[in-house]
């Protein structure tokens, strides 16, 4: 079985049964699909690492459905986390906090911190309630590869071996913003996402007088997001970035056939394939991984992608592109 089928209640109770008995299920979220296991069952967490070929030192995000669970699975939660959670949850914001004893070292890769978020997808929130415990879930792709943004991507990625809770296409399309919230009065963005540093500042503006913001790239934070510097989010084919029309024309001289992901008007040639993006950060993010997967599936020799502007609002997309480009 791949896609869990039936009415909503039926598929949630089936998925919950699988998770309560230690199996794994791919779950929809507003960002990307996750490969979920029950955090109370170690064998379930081990399966996730095995299926993804993920090194054990790379911890998983814990998905919760209530503020009670935040306090059950983490300790020393700073006041600003509660303010941000109230504003952005359920939503694409993950906090790194000190873990409580209820979180096993398998989930955190041996770290004393845990990544926690409340995803904004009704089916998944209902599923977490039905299971009765949070779900640990990394993105449902093989380690280092492109995250899945629809059920078909998960089925392809794992050759139909994983049960998938079908929640349709993901609204946002790139992974959540991660912030290190282990410090009492400051935080640091570890992974940019659709919630930006100005969104965070705006949510904290009334609290900010007593709150010293740690600028990004500050060395104060001791937490690093493992794997964040290595190559990630990569298609199988070589991925090349380009900035303008003359650069893509030059590439056309070097390659027989190119899968071109672009938003500007580019020279059209029948040997190539074209995927038109919209020049808007959230639309570009939503379609990025799907475009990369289509490029992989095409018969093109390489994939070329037009860089978005190097501007603040494009930070999350630029981060993913930087890490998915071929060396």
Q: Residues interacting with Mg ion, by CB under 5 A?
A: 139
Query: For residue 36, what are the β-bridge partners?
Result: 25
Query: Is the Cβ–Cβ distance between 274 and 300 less than 8 Å?
Result: no
Q: Is 58 in the site for ligand TXA (CB under 6 A)?
A: yes
- 252 lies in the binding site for ligand TXA (CB under 6 A): no
Among 115, 195, 304, 318, binds ligand TXA (CB under 6 A): 115
Q: Which two tokens stand for residue 44?
A: 């379930």
Asked if 226 is part of the footprint of ligand TXA (rule: CB under 6 A), the reply reads yes
- Interaction between residue 176 and ligand TXA (CB under 6 A): yes
- For 238, left (φ over 0), alpha (ψ -120 to 50), or beta? beta
Min. distance of Cβ 315 from ligand TXA in angstroms? 16
User: Is residue 11 involved in binding ligand TXA (CB under 6 A)?
Assistant: no
CA dist 127 and 148 (Å) reads: 19
Which residues make Cβ contacts (< 8 Å) with residue 117, sequence separation at least 6?
61, 62, 63, 64, 89, 91, 92, 93, 94, 95, 176
**Integer Cα distance of 238 and 318 in angstroms:** 18
**Chosen residue from 96, 164, 200, 203 binding ligand TXA by CB under 6 A:** 96
Cβ-count burial 300-310 (b if 16+ within 10 Å, e if not): bebbbbbbbee
- Which part of the chain contacts ligand TXA (CB under 6 A), choosing from 27-35, 64-72, 122-130, 158-166? 27-35
Among 94, 133, 149, 272, contact with ligand TXA (rule: CB under 6 A): 94
How many residues sit close enough to ligand TXA to count as binding (CB under 6 A)?
A: 28
Residues lying near ligand TXA in the complex (CB under 6 A) are found at 29, 31-32, 34, 58-61, 92, 94, 96, 108, 111, 113-115, 119, 137-139, 175-176, 178, 223, 225-228
């Amino acid at each position: 079985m791949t896609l869990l089928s039936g009415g909503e209640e039926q598929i949630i109770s089936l998925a919950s049964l699988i998770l309560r008995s230690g199996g794994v299920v791919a779950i929809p979220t507003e960002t990307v699909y996750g490969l979920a296991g029950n955090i109370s069952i170690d064998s379930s967490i081990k399966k996730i690492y095995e299926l993804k070929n993920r090194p054990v030192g790379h911890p998983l995000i814990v998905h919760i459905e209530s503020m009670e669970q935040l306090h059950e699975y983490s300790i020393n939660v700073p006041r600003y986390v509660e303010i941000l959670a109230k504003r952005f949850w359920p939503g694409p914001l993950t906090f790194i906090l000190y873990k409580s004893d209820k979180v096993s070292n398998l989930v955190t890769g041996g770290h004393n911190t845990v990544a926690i978020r409340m995803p904004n997808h009704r089916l998944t929130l209902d599923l977490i309630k039905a299971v009765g415990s949070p779900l640990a879930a990394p993105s449902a792709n093989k380690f280092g590869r492109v995250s899945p943004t629809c059920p078909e991507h998960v089925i392809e990625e794992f050759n139909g071996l994983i049960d998938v809770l079908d929640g349709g296409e993901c609204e946002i399309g790139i992974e959540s913003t991660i912030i290190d919230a282990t410090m009492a009065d400051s935080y640091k963005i570890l992974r940019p996402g659709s919630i930006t540093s100005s969104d965070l500042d705006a949510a904290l503006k009334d609290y900010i007088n007593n709150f010293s913001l740690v600028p990004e790239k500050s060395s104060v934070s001791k937490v690093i997001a493992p794997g964040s510097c290595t190559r990630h989010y990569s298609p199988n084919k070589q991925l090349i970035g380009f900035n303008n029309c003359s650069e893509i024309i030059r590439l056309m001289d070097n390659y027989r056939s190119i899968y071109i992901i672009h938003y500007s008007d580019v020279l059209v040639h029948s040997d190539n394939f074209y995927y038109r993006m919209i020049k808007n950060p959230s639309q570009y993010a939503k379609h990025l991984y799907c475009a990369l997967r289509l490029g992989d599936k095409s018969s093109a020799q390489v994939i070329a992608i037009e860089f978005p502007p190097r501007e603040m609002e494009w930070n999350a997309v630029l981060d993913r592109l930087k890490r998915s480009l071929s060396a």
